[in-house]
Amino acid sequence: MGRRTIYAIVETGGKQYRVTPGQTLDVERLTADEDSEITLDRVLMVADGERVLIGQPVVDGAAVVARVITEHKGDKVIVFKYKNKTRYRRFKGHRQVHTRLTIQDIRLP
């Protein structure tokens, strides 16, 4: 008999993530305090080993509970615009702010 693997696909910040309990992931900045619990309710799919629930577009009653660890800046992205023969050069850097989450629990409907 195999281990029961539960996972969910959630949407936050315009991106989709496959999450399992105990996983740590970086998402777009959320308005939550450090060391607080948040509930991600945009659950698109839940699988718990023997059954799979797919939402239309979200699974009603399903939720993912996560703990906010910290906010941090991501890697620097360099934007360099250049046109030859016209002395046009623009150099700009950007660091996106992310929120680091630890997935605590996946609640099924």
pLDDT, one tens digit per residue, over 48-79 is 888 899 999 999 999 999 999 999 999 999 99
Query: Average pLDDT, whole number, for the chain?
Result: 94
b vs e for 29-38, b when ≥16 Cβ sit within 10 Å of the residue's Cβ?
Answer: ebeeeeeeeb
Give one DSSP letter per residue of 7-72, joined into a string: EEEEEETTEEEEE-TT-EEEEE--S--TT-EEEE--EEEEE-SS-EEE-SSS-TT-EEEEEEEEEE
Domain contains 22: yes
Residue 31 belongs to what domain range?
A: 7-107
What is the C-alpha separation between 58 and 81, in angstroms, rounded? 41
- Specify the pLDDT at position 2: 55
Domain contains 37: yes
What pTM, to 2 d.p., does this model score?
A: 0.84
Domain contains 85: yes
Span of 1-10, 41-50, 67-76 with lowest mean pLDDT: 1-10
Average pLDDT over residues 24-48: 95
Domain contains 1: no
Domain contains 2: no
Rg (CA), the chain: 19
Nearest to 72 by CA among 35, 34, 100, 32: 100
Domain contains 89: yes
- Specify the pLDDT at position 50: 86
**Counted domains in the chain:** 1
